Amino acid sequence: MAALSGSDNNGGHAIPSATTASFDEPELFAASVTGFEARYLPITRDRRFTRLELPLESGRLVVVTRPPMLFEGAVVADHGVITFQLDHKRTARVNGSSVNADTMARWKKGTEYRAYQQSRLTHCQLFLSDAVAARGWPEPEPGHHVLSIAPNSSAHLRSFVSDVAEVIQSDPARIANPNVLKGMDRSIIGGVDDALSTFVLPSSSLATGRYLAICRRARDYLRESDFRIQSNVEVANACGVHVRTLHNAFIAVLGMSLRQYLLLHRLWLVRGALLRAEAGDLVKSIALDHGFWHLGRFSRLYQSRFGEAPSTTLARRGAIR
Residue 309 pLDDT > 60? yes
DSSP category for residue 43:
S
Please enumerate in sequence order all residues whose Cβ is within 8 A of that of 95, keeping only pairs 6 or more positions apart, or say none: 113, 114, 115, 143, 145, 146, 208, 212, 253
**Which one, of 247, 115, 117, 131, lies nearest residue 182 by Cα?**
131
Average pLDDT over residues 253-267: 89
243 contacts 233 by C-beta, under 8 angstroms: yes
Q: What pLDDT, in 10s, does the model give residues 10-36?
A: 444 444 578 999 999 999 999 999 999
45 contacts 307 by C-beta, under 8 angstroms: yes
Q: What pLDDT, in 10s, does the model give residues 273-293?
A: 999 998 888 999 999 888 787
Beta-strand ranges (E) seen in the chain are 2-3, 19-23, 36-42, 49-55, 59-66, 69-75, 81-85, 92-94, 97-99, 103-107, 112-117, 121-128, 146-148
pLDDT band for position 66 (cuts 50, 70, 90): very high
Q: What CA–CA distance (Å, rounded) separates 77 from 106?
A: 12
Q: How far is CA 268 from CA 37, 272, 291, 301, 305, in A?
A: 18, 6, 13, 11, 9
Range from 41-55, 180-194, 264-278 carrying the lowest mean pLDDT:
180-194
113 contacts 125 by C-beta, under 8 angstroms: no
Q: At what angle do helices 243-254 and 206-224 cross, to 10 degrees?
A: 100
Average pLDDT over residues 198-226: 78
The 2-3 sheet, strands edge to edge: 2-3, 19-23, 49-55, 59-66, 121-128, 81-85, 103-107, 146-148
Average pLDDT over residues 222-239: 82
Q: What CA–CA distance (Å, rounded) separates 1 from 76?
A: 22
Whole-number mean pLDDT of the chain?
86
* SS3 state of residue 10: strand
The 112-117 sheet, strands edge to edge: 36-42, 69-75, 112-117, 92-94, 97-99
pLDDT band for position 139 (cuts 50, 70, 90): low
Q: What pLDDT, in 10s, does the model give residues 41-65?
A: 999 999 999 999 999 989 999 999 9
**Which one, of 270, 260, 277, lies nearest residue 308 by Cα?**
270
